[in-house]
Amino acid sequence: MTRGAPRLARFAWLSISAAIVTIALKLVAWRLTGSVGLYSDALESFVNLAAAIMALAMITIAARPPDDGHPFGHDKAEYFASGVEGALILLAAVAIAWAAVGRLLHPQPIERAGLGLAVSVLASLVNLAVARVLIAVGRKHHSIALEADGHHLMTDVFTSAGVLVGIGAVALTDWIVLDPLVAIAVAVQIVWMGVQLMRRSWKGLLDAAVPEAELAALQAVLERHGSGEVSFHAVRTRQAGARRFVSMHVLVPGAWTVTRGHELLERIEDDVRRVIPNANVSTHLEAVEDPASFQDQELDRLHPGHP
């Protein structure tokens, strides 16, 4: 396994553990208060658990080395984790909205609000701590599954805060309709998050280019190596989970020796790998005097103006 998979798997297990703890705490808070807002919050925690399990499975698959059937590796497996998570979030939103509408039609008072709030706050603190860890580790190791899981937990923290505000408002005003209204607002927020996660997954599965910052770093490398004798075209990038793929055609004078051209390509590839993490760099040497060398310019995707 590559990319420090055992270490990343440990963080996925951390997310699973946090989900189990928060489910228990939020269910206790819901049973204490009868709040549909807290019930909706607990349901979302079940989504957190399913997403964490999915993330663990996909991180394990993504870490497998390339093989004969998958010569470019298995890194895209992480996109399935975030895509499934987005779908589960949408299902949770439907369940939350259904429960909230029922409570709007048949309002019920909230009981023991203070104790329920205290238990829910404890659950939110657990999610906050784990979310910060997952986001930091996901960014450091370029794991979209861990980062998406962390952002999901962070959104859960904000959602819980909204629910707590709703319960507090009910306790202060006795306007019990606030509880299901907040739950419906939670459902809308969850739908938005689910759509964003699914969109990000689709984008990755469609071989999106590397981020703008990495494109700029790549451009700087090419400008540093470019000269009156050396130029580039057919520059393309894509990302698959933590891995980046960069390919380009390098045009040099036809009189250059193979050794000189090869040394240039080695320097270019080394410099690209320094500025783009986990990059697989492919270069193709061409003679600048040969008209056939320019027949593939339409492959260039780096410079502005290209689709």
Instruction: Give the CATH number for residue 268.
Output: 3.30.70.1350
Condensed to tens digits (0 to 9), the pLDDT of residues 197-253 reads: 777 777 767 777 888 889 999 999 999 998 889 999 889 898 876 778 999 999 999
pTM of the shown model = 0.60
Domain shared by 237 and 291, yes or no: yes
* 148 part of a folded domain: yes
- The pLDDT score that the predictor gives to residue 219 is 92
- Residue 247: exposure state from Cβ atoms within 10 A (0-12, 13-18, ≥19): middle
- The pLDDT score that the predictor gives to residue 300 is 58
Pick out the chain residues at pLDDT < 50. Answer: 1-4, 303-307
- The pLDDT score that the predictor gives to residue 3 is 47
Token pair 């469609």 in the structure block, residue:
206
* 306 part of a folded domain: no
Q: For residues 30 and 25, give the distance between their C-alpha atoms in angstroms, rounded to a whole number.
A: 9
Domain shared by 177 and 58, yes or no: yes
CB distance 12 to 63 below 8 Å: no
Domain shared by 189 and 266, yes or no: no
Which residue among 182, 205, 228 closes a domain? 205
Query: Residue 137 corresponds to which tokens in the numbers above?
Result: 């580790």
Domain shared by 19 and 166, yes or no: yes
Domain shared by 131 and 50, yes or no: yes
* 282 part of a folded domain: yes
* 305 part of a folded domain: no
Handedness of CA 296, 301, 303, 307 (dihedral sign): positive
Instruction: Give the CATH number for residue 174.
Output: 1.20.1510.10
- The pLDDT score that the predictor gives to residue 77 is 75
Domain shared by 219 and 257, yes or no: yes
Domain shared by 116 and 236, yes or no: no
- The pLDDT score that the predictor gives to residue 78 is 73
- The pLDDT score that the predictor gives to residue 256 is 94
Q: Are strands 243-252 and 279-287 parallel, antiparallel or unpaired?
A: parallel
- The pLDDT score that the predictor gives to residue 284 is 93
Domain shared by 289 and 244, yes or no: yes
Domain extent, residue 219, equals: 212-299
Domains in the chain: how many in total?
2
Domain shared by 222 and 194, yes or no: no
- The pLDDT score that the predictor gives to residue 279 is 87
* 147 part of a folded domain: yes
Which residue among 179, 205, 231 closes a domain? 205
Which residue among 148, 182, 205 closes a domain? 205
Q: Report how far apart, in Å, the C-alpha atoms of 19 and of each of 12, 138, 168, 169 are.
A: 11, 18, 24, 27
Domain shared by 87 and 181, yes or no: yes
- The pLDDT score that the predictor gives to residue 207 is 72
Domain shared by 166 and 236, yes or no: no
* 78 part of a folded domain: yes
* 307 part of a folded domain: no
* 230 part of a folded domain: yes
Domain shared by 27 and 144, yes or no: yes
